[in-house]
Amino acid sequence: MRIMFLGTSSNSGKTTVAAMMCRYAAINGISVAPFKASNLSSSWHITGSGSPIGIGQAFQAVASGIAPDDDMNPILLRPEKEGVVRYLKGSPCAISDDAAFSEVLASFDRIAGKYDLVVCEGSGSPVELNLKGRDIANMRMVRERGIPSVIVGDIERGGVFAAIYGTWKLIPEEDRRYLRGFVINRFRGDISVLYPGIEELESITGMRCFGVIPYADLRVPEEDTSVSEVSCREGLVSLDELLSACRDSVDLDGMLRISGT
């Protein structure tokens, strides 16, 4: 079983939704682990074996009830003086994108070998025209391992229907079959206001809406910030609160079902 959360932009809430999925699966007795091919961050968590991985994946691992592992986030991109430097499991590496991608696949396969469900998280938006061909963290991963995917859109700034539709549209037609649905994140107000838009989006894209996540002041450590210490306990409490707030508005079982297909 495997599932990928793709974002319409950075900070759209992928990390949180993936953490919810991890937590929900773990609570239901499924052995689950997080995975993110590549992370751009200036802060990280050091695993037991001494490698840095993204804070988001470390948190998701804890939410899954397991220890963070190097393979959960094989590549870290660190902004340094001379530009962004790529680290493979803690060491700077000057290998080609293809070689890096083989390492990523190897990590994914090891995780998939150990756990029943792998909850993957993409990086930024999967359809950056300026990164085309160089992006190994999103659709290349999905294609190579046939991962059912869900788009996470952030409604806080508005334009969420356009963002989800545009992301779907820019994904090459042959890959759209992996796009199984979408979720709308950070909503405030009365959900019924959204229904006409959700129905229209479902009918034009053929994707299913797996739900609407209410706005929450999550104490989950966020990516792309310079948070240095992780208070996972506090984070888990807020994650559980969010899960219970989503009981009626998000179809987590539905997402579990597609992860097995």
Nearest Cα residue to 107 out of 59, 144, 139, 77: 144
Footprint of other proteins on this chain (CB under 8 A)? 7-12, 124-125, 127-130, 132, 157-159, 161-167, 169-170, 189-190, 193-198, 200-201
**C-beta closer to other proteins: residue 11 or 43:** 11
Name which of 69 and 135 has its Cβ closer to other proteins: 135
48 DSSP assignment: T
Least Å from the CB of residue 198 to other proteins: 7
Shortest separation between residue 159's beta carbon and other proteins, angstroms: 3
CB 178 within 8 A of CB 199: no
Q: Tell me the angle at which helices 160-170 and 195-205 cross, rounded to the nearest 10 degrees.
A: 10
Q: Which is nearer to other proteins, 99 or 195 (CB)?
A: 195
Q: Taking the complex as a whole, how short is the minimal distance between the CB of residue 253 and other proteins, in angstroms?
A: 25
In the complex, minimum distance from the CB of residue 193 to other proteins, in angstroms, rounded to a whole number: 6
- The secondary structure of 217-245, three-state, reads CCCCCCCCCCCCCCCHHHHHHHHHHHHHH
- Given the complex with other proteins, which of 127 and 207 has the nearer CB atom? 127
* Chain-centre distance for alpha carbon 145: 16
Helical packing angle, 14-27 and 55-63, nearest 10°: 20
